[in-house]
Amino acid sequence: MKSKVLSLALLAIFVFSVVASGCIGGEKTTTQTGGAGYAEQIVIGVTDKVTDLDPANAYDFYTWEVLNNIMEGLVKYKPGTLEIEPALAESWEVNEDSTVWTFHLRKDLKFADGTPLKAQDVVRSIERVMTIQGDPSWLVTDFVEKVEAKDDYTVVFYLKQPTSYFLALLTTPPYFPVHPSYSPNEIQSDQTAGGAGPYKIAKWVRDEELVLEANPNYYGEPPKTKRIIIKFYRDASTMRLALQNGEIDIAWRTLRPTDIESLKSEGKYSVIEVPGGFIRYVCLNTKAEPTNNVKVRQALAAAIDRQEISNKVFKGTVEPLYSLIPNGMWSHIDAFKEKYGDGNIELAKKLLKEAGYDENNPLMIQLWYTPTHYGDTEADLAQVLKEQWERTGVIKVDIKSAEWGTYVDYARKGQMQVYLLGWYPDYLDPDDYTTPFLKSTANSWAGTGYANPTVDELLTKAQSLTDQNERTKLYEQVQKILAEEVPYIPLIQGKLFVVTSPDVKGVTIGPDMIFKYSTIYKEKS
């Protein structure tokens, strides 16, 4: 009898959790309901981190997303499109050679706490970025010579050179006016005063939780959902469990391809697919053997089968990419496909033979990857590349890996032969997908050592021209040279996936890949 009692006691401890949860309320509490027809609160899970809440120093995609929700610039992308529309500025003019841009601000602008926002605040914020010289400051300092407030509502930018895509630059956070409480000459990483966006920060616990509340002084349409809570997760599997358990309403960046596939097949969730502008590519060291031989680089490019990579590694959650300029962006051409095809083993073998390699004298290369920075599919990506290259029978691949801090050190010092990297755009223009990679004065970070005066000249010219047709011709030329000289091999272009509980609506993410929270809502049940 007594032993039964003791056994039951043991069992009781194990099931304590169930009983306790029943007693103290097992209901999900992610959503409270408000009075305007929509739920008051939506919880979004992310595995990204907010690095720096100061737009003078923030330089990563997720942090820019948060800044885009608590701040706004003079212009912005129309939700879901690449079309630029007025934001804090209601109109603007540009002089003939696009070096002087004049913006007219709305008259009723206020920061989230009610402080009026005037032209002087825009100037102060831009000058602050120029003074602080934080990571993204080049987006301002490389282009803007001077900025002035003509009166309370007129801002004039004087540019260093004609810049046709200046409006695209203005959509980036370094150009967002910030509240006067930001220090004028110091980075304030945890500053929550924000700007004049649709939301304001109500609570911020780094790496744990960010609570945004609708900004009562926003000039535009009020957000549909009063409170957005961002929960930060260390890994995708925990975030997926949280979605399945109703702890979060939306799982955003970044679920693993296998999770997306499995959540899709469950049929209980809305899986929204958005074209993404981020790209993945292979870097080839043009200064070190054997990749200093252009035939070797061309052979490696020819042997890659991008569709297989997409299917095997990413379960179809990415699309093949044949240029550094992403699919769908003006001036993009499938330069690598036109020159090499895809998975063209015969051509690869021929090129290798021309380079002096055959079965008896195989090409030995080291392929490097970094295990966590680009998610946990990276080792698989390296493995599939190895298999594809080794299919030639002439290449032997030795896979190596290093943690991010070490990896970037190796890349900068040109210590790796062949390695994988990825790119998120700063602004949506072909320039951002070409200049940082190919211009000899701008690509030291990549470690490929690539330099070509013709390319430098073409890129400089394209930067200053205002006619898009003219620019298109130049970028097409650059892409052809890239495919010929192969300092990089474009692999894939990412798609973005937002997985939501079925009652969440209004998710709109445009080509800028920024998730604007103000359009999402959850109808009251």
Residues 113-152 binding another protein (CB under 8 A) are 133, 135, 138
Rounded to whole angstroms, the Cα distance separating 324 from 423 reads 9
Residue where the block lists tokens 């956070």: 173
Task: Please answer whether residues 403 and 435 qualify as being in contact, where contact means their C-beta atoms are separated by less than 8 angstroms.
Answer: no
- Judged by CB under 8 A, the residue of 341, 414, 436, 449 near another protein is 436
Distance of CA 108 to the CA centre of its chain: 32
Least distance (Å) between residue 250 CB and another protein = 12
Closest CB to another protein among residues 103, 165: 165
- Interaction between residue 262 and another protein (CB under 8 A): no
Least distance (Å) between residue 56 CB and another protein = 13
Binding mask 215-234 for another protein (x = CB under 8 A): ------------x-x-x-xx
Residues numbered 364 to 393 that lie near another protein (CB under 8 A) are 372
Rounded to whole angstroms, the Cα distance separating 411 from 418 reads 10
- Judged by CB under 8 A, the residue of 95, 161, 238, 307 near another protein is 238
Closest CB to another protein among residues 158, 404: 404
- Interaction between residue 268 and another protein (CB under 8 A): no
Residues numbered 12 to 51 that lie near another protein (CB under 8 A) are 13-14, 16-18, 20-22, 24-26, 28-30, 32, 41, 43, 49, 51
Rounded to whole angstroms, the Cα distance separating 94 from 77 reads 19
Residue at 176: amino acid letter: F
Closest CB to another protein among residues 161, 372: 372
Size of the site for another protein (CB under 8 A): 75
- Interaction between residue 246 and another protein (CB under 8 A): yes
Closest CB to another protein among residues 440, 472: 440
Closest CB to another protein among residues 267, 360: 267
Strand segments (E) across 233-308: 250-251, 270-284
Stretch that binds another protein, among 157-165, 217-225, 272-280, 399-407 (CB under 8 A): 399-407
- Judged by CB under 8 A, the residue of 67, 71, 187, 318 near another protein is 187
Closest CB to another protein among residues 344, 417: 417
- Judged by CB under 8 A, the residue of 410, 414, 449, 465 near another protein is 410
Least distance (Å) between residue 26 CB and another protein = 5
Task: Please answer whether residues 513 and 274 qualify as being in contact, where contact means their C-beta atoms are separated by less than 8 angstroms.
Answer: yes
| Cis ω for the linkage preceding 254 (within 30 of 0) | yes
Least distance (Å) between residue 357 CB and another protein = 30
Least distance (Å) between residue 23 CB and another protein = 9
Residues numbered 480 to 519 that lie near another protein (CB under 8 A) are none
How many CB atoms are located within 10 Å of the residue 61 CB? 18
DSSP state of 326: P
Closest Cα partner for 212 from 504, 515, 525?
515
- Judged by CB under 8 A, the residue of 149, 156, 242, 294 near another protein is 242
- Interaction between residue 456 and another protein (CB under 8 A): no
Continuous H helices in 142-287: 166-170, 236-244, 257-266
Tokens standing for residue 160? 């260093």
Stretch that binds another protein, among 101-109, 343-351, 435-443, 496-504 (CB under 8 A): 435-443
Residue where the block lists tokens 């009026």: 116
Tokens standing for residue 103? 């913006």
- Interaction between residue 273 and another protein (CB under 8 A): no
- Judged by CB under 8 A, the residue of 97, 145, 207, 354 near another protein is 207
DSSP assignment string, 422-440: EE--SSSSTHHHHHHHH-T
- Interaction between residue 52 and another protein (CB under 8 A): yes
- Judged by CB under 8 A, the residue of 85, 145, 152, 190 near another protein is 190
- Interaction between residue 8 and another protein (CB under 8 A): no
Long-range pairs, 399-407, Cβ under 8 A, ≥24: 399/366, 399/367, 399/368, 399/369, 400/366, 400/367, 400/368, 400/369, 401/368, 401/369, 401/370, 401/371, 402/368, 402/370, 403/370, 403/371, 403/372, 404/370, 404/372, 404/373, 407/368, 407/370, 407/373
Rounded to whole angstroms, the Cα distance separating 235 from 240 reads 9
